[in-house]
Amino acid sequence: MSNNSKQLDGFEIILGVTGGIAAYKSAHLCSQLVQQGAGVTVIMTQSALKFVGELTFSTLTGRKVITQWLDTPDIYNAQHITLTDAADLFVIAPATANIIAKCATGISDDALSTFACSLGSDILLAPAMNSRMYDNPATQRNITTLKKDGYHIIGPDSGQLACGDVGPGRMSEPEIIFNRISELLSGKTPKRHS
């Protein structure tokens, strides 16, 4: 690695952001990824837009944020295939119980779940939700299914949640997620260079 090289030079990462208070942490993660040389495309659910604006992510990445499925002809142009073909890693942070259930069952009814369903690279999920939702047997079954399917899961951490409850459900800190991303890409050649 030359003196000017960055840790993630040449890697393409899709960052999925879902609707939860932890979405603000995703902006910090996005900034870290870009600063280390990654090309980052952000896909936000409609619920995520209620917590963080798409302008935040488009400013950080220098790219259009995908928020709707089939909202423009250029997105319809098989972008869910071409973008996922180019991606070295798909990170969903925060990953709510809803997106975890969609991924586990193959439901693709919005932009984020459609991209996840058509992915040809690794997926890293960073769960974030209320403890009762996380401990729910259905959520635990879905996480077990995703692990069997080859998904990578980081967290959640335990602590005080936004609702005031204390327990598991806090999204892992951006630095921890960044380190896991670096581990998953370590020793790999970016797809666009292979």
The answer to whether residue 120 sits within a structural domain is: yes
Structure tokens at 55: 């302008």
pTM: 0.89
Q: pLDDT tens digit string along 130-166?
A: 888 999 999 999 999 999 999 999 999 877 666 667 7
The answer to whether residue 5 sits within a structural domain is: no
Tell me, yes or no, if 117 is annotated catalytic.
no
Looking at the structure of the chain, the number of domains it has is 1
What CATH number did the domain enclosing 145 receive? 3.40.50.1950
Domain of residue 54, residue span: 14-188
Structure tokens at 12: 């393409």
The answer to whether residue 159 sits within a structural domain is: yes
Q: pLDDT tens digit string along 89-135?
A: 999 999 999 999 999 999 988 889 988 888 766 899 999 998 889 99
The answer to whether residue 1 sits within a structural domain is: no
Q: Which of 30, 103, 117, 163 is catalytic?
A: 163
The answer to whether residue 8 sits within a structural domain is: no
The answer to whether residue 129 sits within a structural domain is: yes
Rounded Cα distance between 50 and 64, Å, is 18
Rounded to the nearest 5°, which phi and psi values hold at 80? -65, -25
Cα radius of gyration (the chain): 16
The answer to whether residue 2 sits within a structural domain is: no
